[in-house]
Chains A and B, each alone.
Chain A
Amino acid sequence: MASNAAAPFWRSAGMTYITYSNLCANLLRNCLKEPYKSDALSREKVHYTISKWENGKPQKPTIRSDTPEE
């Protein structure tokens, strides 16, 4: 069988498709005019807490957020 088509340059550099398309989308958002730019960037903010579990118990949670702790 013929080999698969040559991978796109980002795939051969180790990047996944999701990372690539999110990067493209972020670059686009950074080039928008003012009210749209801040709307788009704030729409994409994420805020979540992670707790690792050990021996069946959750450890201290860490907070990940785009906005630094106020």
Chain B
Amino acid sequence: MFRHGSRLLTRATAMTWRRPFSTELSAEHSVDSTFVEAWKKLIPNTEPPKTPSAYMNPRPATPSSIPSKLSVNFVLPYSSELSGKEVDMVIIPATTGQMGVLPGHVATIAELKPGVLSVHEGNDVTKYFVSGGFAFVHANSFADIIAIEAVPLDRIDPNLVQKGLTEFTQKLSTASTDVEKAEAQIGVDVHSALNAALTG
């Protein structure tokens, strides 16, 4: 019964070509040499075609020592608020709570909840209220934050926030179907977060 065991085992170990993980991206574009060799044999006079990755700028490599600044890209569907800005820290409103991201932070993907995003650069703090989105922190101290809608705090009208909060709290108590309850709950969450942002 175990006669074939060793054969299968050698076959399995012979096939261990480990694909590199995306966290180990090389700094330069690496060409697939077997493909290039085969191309040159068949078609010696034409250059082998380039793949899309040959045209992209490679991701900056993860430095061996922790860099002093974090580079932040903060984008919205209609505009790019911060593009490669070097900052000391950003605090993002993740669903798991306020997360502080410093240079050298471990690579993370976080879903954002409605809340305040603050960007700390020296003594300046810029705050935005974000309605939701995602934040990707890479090992090389780059942070990509994508939000559906984000506004600086001074563009929010406190009266409208109060009105919305009372309206949705009332809708929550009178809601009957699951969908209505969910919508009312979302309304209450967003407006209380807005309230906390304005008063905090």
Contact = CB atoms under 8 A, between A and B. Distances in A.
A33 B181 contact: no
Interface residues of B, number: 26
Contact of A27 (B155, B157, B164, B182): B164
28 contacts: A9-B182, A10-B185, A12-B178, A13-B181, A21-B132, A23-B186, A24-B114, A24-B148, A24-B149, A25-B132, A25-B148, A25-B149, A27-B131, A27-B186, A27-B187, A27-B191, A28-B114, A28-B131, A31-B156, A31-B157, A31-B164, A31-B194, A32-B155, A32-B156, A33-B155, A33-B156, A36-B151, A37-B157
B179 A24 contact: no
Given A12-B178, A24-B149, A31-B156, 13 more contacts: A10-B185, A13-B179, A13-B181, A13-B182, A14-B178, A20-B132, A22-B148, A23-B183, A24-B114, A28-B131, A28-B149, A31-B161, A32-B151
Interface in B150-195: 151, 155-157, 160-161, 164, 178-179, 181-183, 185-187, 190-191, 194
Interface of A: 9-10, 12-15, 20-25, 27-34, 36-37, 40, 43
B2 interface: no
**Chain A at the B interface: mostly helix, strand, loop or mixed?**
helix
